[in-house]
Chains A and B, each alone.
Chain A
Amino acid sequence: DQQVKQNSPSLSVQEGRISILNCDYTNSMFDYFLWYKKYPAEGPTFLISISSIKDKNEDGRFTVFLNKSAKHLSLHIVPSQPGDSAVYFCAASEYGNKLVFGAGTILRVKS
């Protein structure tokens, strides 16, 4: 039962352009959403989060959008840089409970 889905296994983007990573969820009780970034042989590192009371959160080049009616969130990276190449995981939770992760999207930023 995949409650959090990242349907694109990989994404390739030119340096300087926008990267858009998508995530869908099925559990309407989720109220907290996060994006993590992971390099090979390292643990995931927190990138940005959004609570269900908001529809947008921005931090520098990273913006997360939440569409509760569609149960969809997306991460925008503008402008994309080669150092952004990594695996990006979407995660969600009900308050106080464990994070549920998607399968990840491999982002490759070409210079």
Chain B
Amino acid sequence: NAGVMQNPRHLVRRRGQEARLRCSPMKGHSHVYWYRQLPEEGLKFMVYLQKENIIDESGMPKERFSAEFPKEGPSILRIQQVVRGDSAAYFCASSPSPGEKLFFGSGTQLSVL
């Protein structure tokens, strides 16, 4: 019974490049959440998706960031034209229904040079 799978675990990008972070939720979970943890800070909500729908993107920066959760395949968090301030750990979580506890992946550590 695989948990939430995130890849890659580590991603290094130069300023201006694109970063793509992938998340496969637990089997049977159709609700996906993305959180970001900056150094020395807590987990900040970014976006909540169900299959093919963005439910809440109130924590997502208005520019350069986008997320999707297609009918088939993993959820993708995409960051265009990365800047040094995007360096952080990005965690994906899933749940079987809204309001239930979240199961987290191991995260993707993004480093922007």
Contact = CB atoms under 8 A, between A and B. Distances in A.
Nearest to A36: B104
B99 A96 contact: yes
A93 interface: yes
Contacts, number: 53
Interface in B55-113: 56, 59, 91, 93, 98-99, 101-107, 109
B104 A98 contact: no
Contacts of A32: 99
B43 interface: yes
B98 A97 contact: yes
Given A98-B48, A98-B56, A44 B43 contact: yes
A89 B99 contact: no
Size bin of chain A's contact surface: 20 to 34
Interface string A1-34: 0000010000000000000000000000000101
B19 to A, nearest CB: 18
Contact of B99 (A43, A44, A97, A100): A97
Given A44-B91, A98-B33, A89 B103 contact: no
Contacts of A104: 42
Contact of B106 (A42, A101, A103): A42
Given A89-B42, A95-B98, A97-B99, 18 more contacts: A41-B106, A43-B91, A43-B93, A43-B104, A43-B106, A43-B107, A44-B43, A46-B101, A46-B102, A93-B99, A96-B99, A97-B56, A98-B56, A100-B45, A101-B35, A101-B43, A103-B41, A103-B42
Q: A-B pairs with the 7 shortest C-beta distances?
A: A43-B104, A103-B42, A96-B98, A101-B43, A96-B99, A101-B42, A95-B99
Interface of A: 6, 32, 34, 36, 41-46, 49, 89, 93, 95-104
17 contacts: A6-B42, A32-B99, A41-B109, A42-B107, A43-B104, A43-B105, A43-B106, A44-B104, A89-B43, A96-B98, A97-B99, A98-B33, A98-B59, A99-B45, A101-B35, A101-B44, A102-B42
